[in-house]
Chain A
Amino acid sequence: MNILFVKHGDKYSYKNVNYLVEVLKLHIDGNYYCVTDDPTGVNCETIPCGPNLKVWWNKLWLFNLDLPGQNLYFDLDTRVNGNPLPHLRWDGLTLVDCPWKDDIIINHNYDVKINSQVMTWTGQEQKHIWDHFITNADYFMRKYKGIDRFIVHEGIDHNTFSWDLIHSEKYSEYLGQPVTTFEELDATAVK
């Protein structure tokens, strides 16, 4: 299994990567990779960022990597509370369901009810996502505020994890889920 992170720019540091590597290794024996524009201090194998991309758009570059086997991705504003493995699935691309977004969906803002804080897929079976993005990347980056909206509104097939995997620090109650996301909170909120 490949466990992947993306660190671009200075919003998060190598310490966020190293924390996740350390705590995930307690549960998952695999190959740890960080896609980054600055490998300094990162305690796992690093991969250069994709071409012409800033910040979160580099997450799409993950789908172009030639890494055989199961791929498991975590955003850096994530805390690991336990073993996520029993809650993961590998049939296609799987993302985080966000039921708390039901009340804030605006169609022409391309809002979505999923996020890509945690993702799973297998090998290069999702390479078509990168291939589609790169055909018109500049337009997609103007149209969508992030990759979640790109994935949903470009009609890319995806599943969602069951709700017992993810706890949102901002929106949901903690019920012992193995992963907590700090999405939409300040980077310093990650503990």
Chain B
Amino acid sequence: MQQPLSNALSLIENIYDDSMYGVGDMFRIKDVIHSLSSNQVRSKEWLAYEFKKQYFYPSGKILIIGGWYGLLAYMLRQKFPGKEMNIVSIDKDPMCETIAWKLFPDMDAQFITTDVFDFDLSEYSAIISTSVEHIEKQFWIDLVKNKDPNTWVCLQTNNFFDHPTHINCSKSAAEFTEYLGLEWVAYENAIDNYDFQRFMVIGK
């Protein structure tokens, strides 16, 4: 993580410099820092580690929904270093793509600006997201229901109900798993993030 953190410092300086001439968005500084916080790193490391164990194969095509500034793509690339694993990270915010390339300039991944509701989710061997709490529940239910039966899903949510952007939290990992309606659950667990819990489900 040392190089991405070093890249983040350069990026933050550039954003500040831009703001001196009225073209920068100072809130991006805070947002980039949040995206690389210890909680973010820990939850993405947890996902990459557990997903690698379950998925097992070195090849395929991973789609990350709501990939933000690319940390999860980076963590997954550490676990799947070969070119035979394709990693695509999508986010609706157009600045995510720009910032991701500045944080992870040499990474073998695709960053795409798109609304997930307009995106073709077929032909991926795994669909992954740590942003379940930001997208309505019915989207995830439909995703699981309509996906190819062989496509893996690896999803994280939390019980941080009070956050204004969290519209789809769960009370427990079990509740999360139940509404998703997976045919097969390979992994289900929770970790403590200080004042809330993060839940993860992996399955098909």
- Interface residues of chain A, those whose CB is within 8 Å of chain B, are 51-55, 57, 108, 110, 135-136, 138-139, 141-143
- Interface residues of chain B, those whose CB is within 8 Å of chain A, are 26-27, 31, 92-95, 134-136, 164-167
User: Within 8 Å CB of B95, what residues of A?
Assistant: 139
User: Within 8 Å CB of B31, what residues of A?
Assistant: 139, 142-143
Shortest Cβ distance from residue B151 to the other chain A in the assembled complex, whole angstroms? 25
The answer to whether B165 and A141 have CB atoms under 8 Å apart is yes
The answer to whether B92 and A53 have CB atoms under 8 Å apart is no
Besides A53-B167, A138-B134, 6 more A-B contacts (Cβ < 8 Å) are A51-B136, A57-B164, A110-B27, A136-B92, A138-B92, A142-B165
The answer to whether A138 and B93 have CB atoms under 8 Å apart is yes
Number of residue pairs spanning A and B whose beta carbons lie under 8 angstroms apart: 31
With A51-B136, A52-B136 as known contacts, state yes or no: A138 contacts B26, CB within 8 Å. Answer: no
The answer to whether A141 and B164 have CB atoms under 8 Å apart is yes
Shortest Cβ distance from residue A152 to the other chain B in the assembled complex, whole angstroms? 14
Shortest Cβ distance from residue A109 to the other chain B in the assembled complex, whole angstroms? 10
User: Within 8 Å CB of A51, what residues of B?
Assistant: 136
A142 to B163, CA, bound (A): 9
- For B31, give the chain A residue with the smallest CB separation: A142
User: Within 8 Å CB of A136, what residues of B?
Assistant: 92-94
User: Within 8 Å CB of A141, what residues of B?
Assistant: 164-165
Shortest Cβ distance from residue B3 to the other chain A in the assembled complex, whole angstroms? 26
The answer to whether B167 and A54 have CB atoms under 8 Å apart is yes
A105 to B92, CA, bound (A): 31
The answer to whether A55 and B164 have CB atoms under 8 Å apart is yes
User: Within 8 Å CB of A138, what residues of B?
Assistant: 92-93, 134, 165
The answer to whether B27 and A143 have CB atoms under 8 Å apart is yes
A23 to B26, CA, bound (A): 44
Shortest Cβ distance from residue A151 to the other chain B in the assembled complex, whole angstroms? 16
The 4 closest A-B pairs by CB, nearest first: A143-B27, A141-B165, A139-B93, A52-B167
- For B136, give the chain A residue with the smallest CB separation: A52
22 contacts between A and B (CB under 8 A): A51-B136, A52-B135, A52-B136, A52-B167, A54-B164, A54-B165, A54-B166, A55-B164, A57-B164, A110-B27, A135-B92, A136-B92, A136-B93, A138-B92, A138-B93, A138-B165, A139-B93, A141-B164, A141-B165, A142-B27, A142-B31, A143-B31
- For A143, give the chain B residue with the smallest CB separation: B27
Shortest Cβ distance from residue B11 to the other chain A in the assembled complex, whole angstroms? 16
Shortest Cβ distance from residue B64 to the other chain A in the assembled complex, whole angstroms? 15
A143 to B29, CA, bound (A): 11
A53 to B136, CA, bound (A): 10
User: Within 8 Å CB of B164, what residues of A?
Assistant: 54-55, 57, 141
User: Within 8 Å CB of B134, what residues of A?
Assistant: 138
Q: Which of A57, A108, A135 contacts B26 (CB 8 A)?
A: A108
